Structure formats: C-alpha cells, structure tokens
Amino acid sequence: MTTQEQVHDTARRARTAAAELAPLTRAVKDAALHAMADALVAHRDDLLAANRADVAAGREAGTPEGMLDRLALDEGRIEAMAQGLRDVAALPDPVGEVVRGYTLPNGLEVRQVRVPMGVVAIVYEARPNVTVDAAGLCVKSGNAVLLRGSSSAYRSNTALVEVLAAAAEKAGLPADAVQLVPGTDRESVTHLLRARGLVDVVIPRGGAGLISHIVENAIVPVIETGVGNCHVYIDADADLDVAERIVLNSKTHRPSVCNAAETLLVHRAVAGEFLPRIAKALGAAGVTLHGDDTVVSTVDAAVPATEADWADEYLTLDLAVAVVDSLDDAVGHIRRWTTGHTEAIVSNSATAIKRFVSRMDSAAVMVNASTRFTDGGEFGFGAEIGISTQKLHARGPMGLPELTTTTYVVTGDGHVR
C-alpha cells in the first residue's frame, strides 16, 4: 500500500473503533486505563530498550542535550506515565454529562449531552510521555486516538502504543482504539491532515513550526495549541516584592514551556526602582535581558531588543523588557505582539486590574499570579491534552470535557410539528 492508503486505512479502523468505544461505561474505560498503566510497568524493560535506541540515534545525529533529555525515558518516567493513566481513571467521565436541559411549552424535553468527538489525531514532537498522556485522555473521553509523534521517538512510540493497545483491547476496549499513524516522514502527516471524513479533529502539540504546518495544510478541523509569547505587566501600583516573585517564577521556573513569560513590561513610574532589582535577580538566574532604550540605559547587562524580540517565544533564559508610560501602552504592546496564550498584571489597583483584564484577548489572564499557572492540572482539571490559543472549539487548558462535543436529545410523546 502507498503511504496515503496506509494512513487512511488506519483512520478507517479508528473510526470503526470509535463507534464501539463511544457507548462504553466509565467502569470499562477506567479498567482499561488501569490495565494500560500496569502494562507499562510490566513491559518497562522493552520500553527502555526501544527508547535507548532512539536516544543513541539522536545523540549520533547531533541532537542537543536538552532535546535528548525530553526524549529519554527511565524507570521513574515510566512509573510517572503509568500513574498519569491511573490519575485520569480517577477523573469524572465527561461523556453523558447534561450541559443543559429544559422542557418546552409544547412538552418536548430538550437535553444537550456531551458525547465523544470520535477520532482524535494528535501530532506532537519529541516527548514519548505525550503518547501515553494523549492515549489516556482520549480513551477516558470515549475517543479513538491516532498518535503521530516525531521520527526521533519512533521506536519508543511504537513500543508504547503496542503495549497500550494490547492492554486496552484485553481489558474490553475495541481493537484499534489506540493506534500509531504509519510513517516517519512529513508525507504521512500530510495524508493525516487531509483525511477529512475519517478524522474528526487534529491537535498539534509542539513548536511554532509544527503548529503552523498543521494549521496551514489541514482540511481536517484543527485545535491550535501551544505557542506562548506570554507577557507580565508591572503596574504603577504594584507591590514590587510580589512583582519580583511573579516575574522570576514566570520566567525561570521552567523556561522551555509555553506558559513561561517571554516579555516584561514595566510602568515608567516604578521602572527606576524595579528595573535594577529585577535585573539583578534575573541575572543571578542566568537570564539575558533584551531591552528597549530605557532598559539598556538602566541595566548594564541588557542587550538592545530588536523587533523580533517582541514577537519571539524564546523558550530559553531570555526575556524581552520594555518600559511603558501607561497601562494603555502596555495593553497596546500586548495586543500587537501576543499569541493569545497568557498575560499577567501585577497591581494593587482594582481599577487598573479591571481595565487590563477587560482589554486582553488571550486564553488566560493572570492577576497578581505567575503565568505558569496556565495549566490543566493547576486549574484543577486533573490533566490536559494541551492549551488552546484559538477561540473555537476550545480555549485555554483543554481537559476531558474539551475532548467532547455535544448532541441534542429531544424527547416527545408523539409530538409532530
């Protein structure tokens, strides 16, 4: 078969599985998740052997150590993946939830009920843990899942999916509920993106390049996730001790993730006091500041910012910094450069906070809190498939409910119109 035939055949089998998976009870799905978790631990030696081959190939190809660390598995990471599946099993099942219900004057009963999407494709980079996370969330929400990781993790992902799929089927899930998309080159992704009618939605997880490729080439519906040029604005009425903590946490807690801060905006009224102290704290953490003229003239270690710096999602220990004359100037800067992920304000002024929040157009707005809280786990969802930066069909951290759609169930007693 050609690559297109292989990919579309895989999607057809997933569609068959989705029809059988949708009506299964929570008890069956949870049992399958526990079986999948146990299977990961039982087959850890095989999984680690496959992963070592991926890491060795990556090292030979000159892959940076940071990427190799994201690729690598060990016993602790396998146990963490297994525990993640058990945690998902403990979450409420969104399928069957009544979003709203009412009785019309003519006696018809109308209920809007959550149902699975059907076939969900996840296209992602590097980290094998996404294979397990995505499989678990899709199974719990009643969806068949097509997994397409990067070629650098192909051996690891193949081994993981074989273990997960076998355990799931043995526990009562339909065959082909969890599948790896065939192929390791971009051609297989292209055929997946064009499988309209076979795949219900594609969710990309990765860098800007991957997401742009998916969005620009898909005719299957896409939920865009991930790219985060996140801003922190320090208002004239900010508590500067609080501001320092929030900036440090937002930038340095884990700089390589999408909810890390990439731009700091400081009101001119507090810039003279705040810039030296935050520059010292960030410098001690290894952060390079890319500043406007005011910042460069105030902070010796700062380098001049370019236009690209205001747009960049660094994912490194770099931070763009600008001094603004007003809250409205900060809002204007953010609305020009934001990717719609997360923005934060630090202020003790209720008026300033209200004005800032009402003028933002992002998935999340933090008030006196770190941007790092934009996360399904931190929001109390228990888990997430990604963070949507678009407005349809989901926005912000996507938990189990966001992996469902709804159907209307209308019950009558011989009603005719």
Whether residue 44 is found in the same domain as residue 193: yes
Last residue of some domain: 225, 259, 283? 225
Whether residue 211 sits in one domain with residue 183: yes
Question: Is 387 a member of any domain?
Answer: no
Q: Is 103 helix (H, G, I), strand (E, B) or coil?
A: strand
248 neighbors 277 (Cβ within 8 angstroms): no
% of the chain at pLDDT higher than 70: 100
Omega before 393 cis (within 30°)? yes
More confident residue, 329 or 68: 329
Last residue of a domain, one of 201, 225, 249: 225
Q: Which residues pair with 100 in a beta bridge?
A: 112
The average confidence (pLDDT) of the chain is 96
Q: In what order do the strands lie in the sheet with 201-205?
A: 178-180, 144-148, 119-124, 201-205
Residue 41 lies in a domain: yes
159 belongs to a structural domain: yes
Return the exposure string of 120-130: e unless at least 16 CB atoms fall within 10 Å of the residue's CB, then b. Answer: bbbbbbbbbbb
Strands 178-180 and 144-148 come out as parallel
- Quote the CA–CA distance of 401 and 349 in Å, as a whole number: 35
Helix (H, G, I), strand (E, B) or coil at 138: helix
pLDDT tens digits for range 244-294: 999 999 999 999 889 999 999 999 999 999 999 999 999 999 999 999 999
**Is the CB of residue 365 less than 8 Å from the CB of residue 258?**
no
Same domain, yes or no: 361 and 250: yes
User: What range does the domain containing 182 cover?
Assistant: 3-225
Domain count, the chain: 2
Task: State whether 71 and 193 are in the same domain.
Answer: yes
Query: Which tens digits make up the pLDDT trace of 106-143?
Result: 999 999 999 999 999 999 987 899 999 999 999 999 99
Alpha-carbon distance of 100 to 98, in angstroms, equals: 5
Residue 97: name the closest of 351, 414, 416, 409 by CA: 409
Gyration radius of the chain's alpha carbons:
24
DSSP string for residues in 180-195: EPS-SSHHHHHHHHT-
Whether 357 and 235 share a structural domain: yes
The enclosing domain of 355 has a CATH number of 3.40.309.10
User: Residue 280 falls within a domain, yes or no?
Assistant: yes
Burial 146-165 (b: 16+ CB within 10 A, else e): bbbbbebbbbbbebbbbbbb
User: What's the confidence (pLDDT) of residue 152?
Assistant: 93
Asked whether residue 90 is assigned to any structural domain, the reply reads yes
Among 198, 225, 252, residue at a domain's last position = 225
What six digits make up the tokens of 212? 């742009």
Q: Where are the alpha helices (DSSP H) in 253-326?
A: 268-284, 293-298, 307-311
Residue 389 in any domain: the answer is no
128: domain CATH number is 3.40.605.10
Beta strand pairing status for 386-388 and 396-398? antiparallel
Tell me, yes or no, whether 313 lies in a domain. Answer: yes
One domain, residues 283 and 178: no
Q: 0.85 exceeded by the pTM?
A: yes
